[in-house]
């Protein structure tokens, strides 16, 4: 007798929860599972359609928001990764002609990284497709549910910002 294996999508973080767990924990795990499933689709699409990775896309997205460029430290901070990670990705993108390093006036050791015209065009195509993947991820939900989910998550976000502020204040005292 053969046993059926669960679908890979079922084997996610939410599978760790059961009815005895607090509903907040179950909700948290569901949020993580949804986020990871959407991210998995985006990663696969970037790889298949653009031969790139999500970290490269994220770095280019930061540069697209700052046409004047960003220093490596700023990029590292915005991406919440180490400087070494940013340097490796930047080196690859420079070699491909998608970004360039430009000097900073008054500081011979510093430079800014910015998208090249080729990088701007490549990122625009990726960003358009990325948006479509995200729209598709929510396609089965009615617009009112998407709006409601957005509002509720906004309230949760604001609550967490306040909690983090209080924690930081307590740490300073």
Mean pLDDT (the chain) is 90
Q: pTM here? A: 0.82
What pLDDT digit, counting tens, does each position of 120-143 carry? Answer: 999 999 999 999 999 999 999 999
Contact between residue 71 and residue 114 where contact means Cβ atoms under 8 Å apart: no
Contact between residue 173 and residue 166 where contact means Cβ atoms under 8 Å apart: no
Determine the Cα angle at 137 with ends 79 and 59, to 5°. Answer: 20
Architecture of domain 52-139: Orthogonal Bundle (1.10)
Contact between residue 129 and residue 136 where contact means Cβ atoms under 8 Å apart: no
What pLDDT digit, counting tens, does each position of 56-110 carry? Answer: 999 999 999 999 999 999 999 999 988 888 999 999 999 999 999 998 888 878 8
Query: Which pLDDT score is estimated for 2?
Result: 47
Query: Which pLDDT score is estimated for 7?
Result: 53
């Amino acid at each position: 007798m053969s046993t059926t294996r669960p679908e890979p999508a079922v084997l996610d973080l939410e599978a760790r929860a059961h009815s005895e767990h607090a509903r907040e924990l179950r909700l948290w795990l569901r949020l993580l599972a949804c986020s990871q499933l959407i991210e998995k689709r985006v990663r696969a699409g970037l790889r298949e359609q653009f031969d790139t990775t999500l970290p490269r896309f994220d770095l280019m997205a930061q540069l697209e928001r700052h046409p004047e460029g960003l220093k490596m430290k700023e990029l590292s901070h915005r991406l919440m990764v180490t400087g070494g990670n940013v340097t490796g990705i930047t080196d690859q993108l420079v070699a491909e002609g998608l970004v360039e390093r430009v000097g900073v006036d008054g500081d011979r050791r510093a430079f800014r990284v910015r998208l090249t015209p080729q990088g701007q065009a490549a990122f625009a195509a990726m960003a358009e497709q990325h948006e479509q993947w995200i729209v598709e991820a929510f396609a089965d939900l009615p617009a009112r549910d998407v709006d409601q989910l957005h509002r509720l998550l906004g309230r949760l976000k604001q609550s967490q910002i306040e909690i983090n502020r209080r924690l930081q204040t307590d740490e300073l005292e």
